[in-house]
């Protein structure tokens, strides 16, 4: 009889069992579970006790169960589909057990894999959301932090520039230079975290300009000679006079690299000497290759830690004896590489360290006719078409207001209106005709870029063409693109000095 069923329900892992109306086995092929005639069907698994009410049924029934877990006497697990059939003609009931363990196991693996994939996707989405929120928070914090600190720095930097034009003794001039240099260094320190984040996400760009390289080295030499005397150590500058006086490069970033390396050397040197060496290596096609090094006789770096000193927030000294952010060398490496240069380090513990750089700079061939002193007069002042220009300064910082007012009043070419609140800017533009607007980005009320967009849409003569210059410390590429999209013509970075401010203003006046 079972052969008839097996021919109809053929499956290599299927067991057929016939039982009488009391649930006792009449016949079994024992493919999965060993049974003999007279055994209770429930001896396979208590599951079958639930079918007892159907055992003596006089009707046709076909009951199916899926994914039933059964355990053999050998403790082997089976995941089965079960069919229970009764017949109206009085035939013995039929139990068919299909072992689909492999199928269910495969399905479970596929389902688990799919679920894990969905879960991983959701986790990744949540992580990305978290990282974005973290990045947005960090950028907002840095922007606020930077803005609040750079306003007083603008006062320091700008008034140093103004003070330099007054009658002072040579000693006083030197002191003002030190104050200005210290202010610039503080600015760079404040910007370190912002700079590092820019470097890490590839948003920092190098802006090349012509500047007096010799003057930069002289200023550094003077500043760190004073510092060396305070620490009672020696400081030597070995500078190659054959290096071109004027070179093209990002003066701010170059100075930042030199200052970071020198500060690092001075920090870890308590006795002995710091040597700053700048040598010309070769010239080719309007480019000069310089070998630059900073050597000290400080505490040195253990050989096993040389590979990590350029990592962000890395401090080799954990005793807090030496202060710092742990960002200096990381920023140096990032900036040098952005300038297509290379930096290496050699060090011996308790003997000292030497950081070596190799960088290419462009330079003008005709050095004799290159001068930056009269650049403003030659390029801008001589092309002015009016004797007096009306300037609007939208700025809430009183220090920045005073700095701009003092710088412009010395020039004698400007009338200046000052507004401290964004809500009053539009009304002032409607009722006055300005030749140029200096717009602080973080104005109270409405931000400067939004105000610029509103000004450009005003149905007032000159509003679509008036030069609007942003005053800001936020200089991500995304920020610059937004300023331009809103209708701003140029950017003046805070803190600014007299030369930077005037050159930008004269550049955009007609």
Domain ranges within the chain, ordered by starting residue: 2-99, 205-362, 375-508
- For 375-508, which CATH class? alpha beta
- Nearest to residue 472, comparing CAs of 416, 403, 400? 400
User: What single string gives the DSSP state of each residue in 35-89?
Assistant: --TT-BGGGT-GGGGGGGGGTT--S-EEEEEEEEEEE-TT--EEEEEEEEEE-TT
Tokens of 453: 């967009």
Q: Report the b/e string of 155-194 with b at 16+ CB within 10 A.
A: bbbbbbbbbeeeeeeeeeeeebbbebbebbbbbbbbbbbb
Contact at 8 Å (CB) between 290 and 299? no
Tokens of 25: 């086995």
- pTM of whole model > 0.75? no
Tokens of 442: 């973080």
Q: State how far the alpha carbon of 59 is from the alpha carbons of 85, 93, 97, 183, in Å.
A: 10, 11, 21, 100
- Nearest to residue 136, comparing CAs of 201, 85, 68? 201
> Residue 86 CB: number of other CB atoms within 10 A?
22
Cα gap 343→258, rounded to integer Å = 12
CATH 3.30.565.10 for domain 205-362: yes
Cα gap 309→268, rounded to integer Å = 14
- Nearest to residue 472, comparing CAs of 460, 454, 484? 484
Classify 394 as helix, strand or coil. strand
Give the CATH superfamily of 2-99. Answer: PAS domain (3.30.450.20)
Q: State how far the alpha carbon of 111 is from the alpha carbons of 1, 376, 472, in Å.
A: 39, 73, 54
Tokens of 129: 């959301």
Q: State how far the alpha carbon of 249 is from the alpha carbons of 170, 208, 332, 336, 369, in Å.
A: 30, 4, 15, 12, 19
* Sheet with 61-71: strands ordered across: 25-28, 14-19, 93-99, 77-86, 61-71
Contact at 8 Å (CB) between 343 and 355? yes
Between CA 350 and CA 358, with CA 355 as vertex, the angle to 5 degrees is 165
| Per-residue tens of pLDDT for the chain, all 510 residues | 556 555 555 556 888 999 998 889 999 988 888 889 999 988 888 888 888 888 888 788 888 998 888 887 777 888 888 899 988 887 889 999 988 888 777 777 777 778 777 888 888 888 888 777 776 776 666 666 666 677 777 778 778 877 887 888 888 888 888 887 777 767 766 666 566 555 655 556 677 888 899 999 999 999 999 889 989 999 999 999 999 999 998 888 899 899 989 988 998 899 999 999 999 999 988 899 999 999 999 988 888 777 777 764 445 444 444 444 445 687 788 888 888 899 999 988 889 999 999 999 988 877 766 555 545 444 555 567 788 999 999 998 888 888 899 889 888 889 999 999 888 999 999 989 999 999 999 888 889 999 999 999 998 878 899 999 999 877 777 788 899 999 999 999 887 878 888 889 988 987
Contact at 8 Å (CB) between 384 and 378? no
Classify 8 as helix, strand or coil. helix
Asked if the domains 2-99 and 375-508 are classified in one and the same CATH topology, the answer is: no
């Amino acid at each position: 009889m079972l052969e008839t069923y097996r021919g109809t329900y053929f499956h290599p892992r299927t067991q057929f069992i016939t039982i009488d109306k009391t649930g006792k086995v009449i016949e079994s092929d024992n493919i999965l579970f060993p049974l003999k005639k007279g055994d209770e069907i429930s001896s396979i698994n208590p599951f079958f006790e639930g079918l007892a009410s159907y055992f003596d049924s006089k009707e046709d029934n076909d009951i199916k169960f899926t994914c039933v877990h059964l355990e053999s006497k050998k403790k082997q697990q089976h995941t089965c589909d079960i069919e229970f059939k009764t017949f109206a003609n009085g035939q013995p009931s039929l139990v068919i057990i299909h072992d689909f363990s492999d199928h269910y196991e495969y399905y479970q693996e596929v389902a688990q894999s799919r679920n894990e994939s969905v879960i991983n996707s959701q986790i990744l989405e949540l992580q990305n959301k978290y990282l974005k929120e973290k990045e947005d928070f960090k950028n907002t914090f840095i922007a606020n932090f930077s803005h609040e600190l750079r306003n007083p720095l603008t006062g320091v930097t700008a008034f140093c520039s103004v003070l330099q034009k007054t009658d002072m003794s040579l000693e006083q001039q030197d002191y003002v230079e030190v104050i200005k240099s210290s202010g610039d260094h503080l600015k760079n320190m404040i910007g370190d975290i912002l700079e590092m984040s820019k470097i890490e996400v590839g948003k920092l760009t190098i802006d090349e300009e012509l500047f007096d390289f010799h003057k930069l080295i002289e200023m550094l030499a003077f500043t760190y000679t004073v510092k060396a005397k305070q620490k009672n150590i020696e400081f030597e500058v070995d500078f190659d006079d054959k290096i071109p006086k004027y070179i093209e490069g990002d003066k701010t970033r170059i100075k930042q690299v030199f200052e970071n390396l020198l500060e690092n050397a001075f920090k870890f040197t308590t006795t002995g000497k710091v040597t700053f060496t700048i040598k010309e290596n070769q010239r080719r096609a309007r480019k000069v290759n310089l070998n630059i090094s900073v050597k000290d006789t400080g505490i040195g770096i253990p050989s096993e830690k040389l590979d990590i000193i350029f990592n962000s927030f890395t401090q080799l000294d954990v005793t807090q004896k030496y202060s710092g952010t742990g960002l200096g060398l990381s920023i140096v490496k990032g900036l040098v590489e952005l300038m297509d240069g290379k930096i290496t380090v050699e060090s011996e513990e308790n003997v000292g360290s030497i950081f070596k750089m190799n960088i290419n700079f462009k330079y003008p061939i005709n050095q004799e006719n290159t001068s930056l002193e009269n650049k403003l007069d030659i390029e801008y002042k001589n092309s002015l078409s009016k004797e007096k220009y009306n300037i609007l300064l939208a700025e809430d910082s009183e220090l920045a207001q005073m700095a701009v007012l003092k710088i412009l009043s010395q020039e004698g070419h400007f009338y200046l209106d000052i507004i401290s609140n964004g809500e009053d800017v539009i009304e002032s533009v409607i009722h006055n005709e300005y030749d140029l607007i200096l717009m602080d980005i973080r104005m109270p009320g409405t931000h400067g870029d939004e105000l610029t967009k509103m000004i450009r849409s005003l149905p007032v003569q000159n509003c679509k063409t008036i030069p609007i210059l942003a005053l800001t410390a936020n200089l991500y590429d995304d920020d610059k693109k937004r300023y331009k999209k809103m209708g701003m013509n140029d950017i003046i970075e805070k803190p600014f000095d007299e030369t930077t401010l005037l050159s930008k203003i004269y550049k955009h006046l007609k």
